[in-house]
């Protein structure tokens, strides 16, 4: 195997930011559908649900709001996701570097999982408020009741109503979702990359289709772990103030009591349909940016 490129958390930061932009463009339409499916009100007896499933939600959104409807609330994730993925990949790079005794150490898969979990802790500070704003904007578009004029107006109103706590509502659930899911995300990506690398070659020499496949599968494994806490988080962050006094335990109890354990996997199809292309685009963007940075500043 050829000599591996030394880990640089700084390069990871910039390349991760570019990967995050690629992810939002590829994945936002299905993210809108996922949130609308997860937060749609339970139909009254005799009435049918607002959306019958992923395709129905896609069709109704497109008919009613056009392509722009699918990209509703995208400004918040673009502003939040670029630094968030930069911090995420930085956290992963730092987590790897901290576990290396020498720069040429090859890390085990449990060590890669631990490095990924560290990245999940890093990202929550940015992720929690960004997700709260995104969810509120996505569901108001679906309900037709306009309370917020846009992301900044949403921040102002939340701060005015409940201070910084209002903006950071759902942070514990975001941690519960992102710490194990990020571990799975990065470990799976490295594992598939290594599995696809021919004998005697370096994973950094992988072809574009191989990188896309490894990134897409990492996204699927990430969300397989993340969906149940994500459903609870979407519910909790979009609920009226005071509806769930005991936090996520109340949300979990209500969901399981009213809709059964399967409700924890609401939006599964939309999530999985989005996970592959969005994360394939993210890791391809990351790898291309990394190659450029290694060429630009080989010793950084």
pLDDT above 90 for 10: yes
Which residues, in sequence order, are CB contacts of 22 under 8 Å at separation 6+? 281, 282, 284, 285
Residue 130 has pLDDT above 80, yes or no: yes
Q: Report pLDDT for 9.
A: 92
CATH of the domain spanning 9-41+49-193+206-296, picked from 2.60.120.10, 1.50.40.10, 1.10.10.60, 2.40.10.10: 1.50.40.10
Q: Report pLDDT for 5.
A: 64
Least confident of 5-19, 83-97, 234-248: 234-248
Least confident of 2-11, 88-97, 99-108, 240-249: 2-11
Report the percentage of the chain scoring pLDDT > 70. Answer: 98
**pLDDT tens track for 191-217:** 999 999 998 888 888 999 999 999 999
* Least confident stretch, 39-53, 93-107, 155-169, 223-237: 39-53
Q: What is the pLDDT of residue 25?
A: 85
What is the predicted pLDDT for the residue at 211?
Answer: 96
pLDDT at residue number 2: 41
The half-sphere exposure of 69 on its side-chain side, counting CA atoms within 13 A, is 18
* CB half-sphere exposure, 190, CA atoms < 13 A: 20
Span 251-257, mean pLDDT?
91
The residue among 120, 103, 134, 267 whose CA lies nearest residue 179 is 120
Decide if pLDDT at 248 tops 90. no
| Nearest residue to 278 via CA among 27, 89, 88 | 27
Q: Using a pLDDT cut of 90, give the percent of the chain over it.
A: 45
Mean pLDDT of the region 147-157: 91
User: How many helices (H) and strands (E) would you count in the chain?
Assistant: 9, 0
Is residue 169 predicted with pLDDT exceeding 90? no
CA distances from 11 to 68, 86, 197, 210, 292 (A): 34, 9, 23, 22, 10
Residue 101: DSSP 8-state: S
Domain-by-domain residue ranges, the chain?
9-41+49-193+206-296
| Inter-residue contact 36 to 70 (CB < 8 Å) | no
**Which pLDDT does position 4 carry in this prediction?**
58
Mean pLDDT of 40-45: 83
The pLDDT value given to residue 290? 94
Total Cβ atoms within 10 A of residue 94: 20
pLDDT band at 15 (very low <50, low <70, confident <90, very high): very high
Q: Above 90 in pLDDT, residue 153?
A: yes
Kindly tell me if the per-residue pLDDT of 3 is higher than 70. no
Give 109-121 pLDDT, tens digit per residue: 999 999 999 999 9
């Amino acid at each position: 195997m050829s000599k591996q490129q030394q880990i640089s958390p700084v390069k990871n930061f910039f390349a991760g930011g570019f990967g995050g932009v690629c992810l939002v463009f590829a994945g936002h339409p299905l993210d809108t559908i996922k949130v609308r499916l997860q937060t749609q009100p339970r139909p009254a007896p005799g009435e049918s649900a607002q959306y019958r499933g992923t395709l129905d939600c896609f069709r109704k959104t497109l008919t009613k709001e056009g392509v722009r409807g699918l990209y509703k609330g995208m400004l918040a994730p673009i502003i939040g996701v670029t630094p968030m993925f930069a911090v995420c990949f930085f956290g992963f790079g730092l987590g790897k570097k901290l576990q290396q005794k020498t720069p040429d150490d090859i890390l085990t898969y449990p060590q890669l999982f631990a490095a990924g979990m560290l990245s999940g802790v890093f990202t929550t500070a940015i992720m929690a408020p960004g997700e709260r704003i995104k969810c509120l904007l996505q569901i108001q578009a679906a309900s037709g009741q306009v309370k917020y004029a846009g992301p900044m107006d949403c921040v102002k109103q939340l701060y005015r109503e409940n201070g910084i706590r209002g903006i950071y509502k759902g942070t514990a659930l975001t941690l519960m979702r992102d710490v194990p899911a990020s571990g799975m995300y990065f470990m799976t990506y490295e594992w598939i990359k290594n599995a696809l690398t021919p004998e005697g070659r370096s994973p950094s020499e992988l072809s574009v289709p191989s990188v896309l496949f490894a990134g897409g599968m990492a996204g699927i494994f990430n969300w397989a772990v993340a969906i149940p806490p994500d459903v609870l988080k979407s519910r909790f962050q979009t609920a009226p103030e005071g509806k769930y006094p005991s936090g996520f335990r109340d949300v979990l109890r209500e969901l399981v009591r009213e809709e059964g354990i399967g409700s924890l996997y609401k939006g599964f199809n939309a999530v999985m349909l989005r996970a592959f292309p969005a994360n394939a685009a993210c890791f391809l963007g990351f790898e291309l940016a990394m190659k450029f940075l290694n060429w630009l500043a080989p010793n950084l």
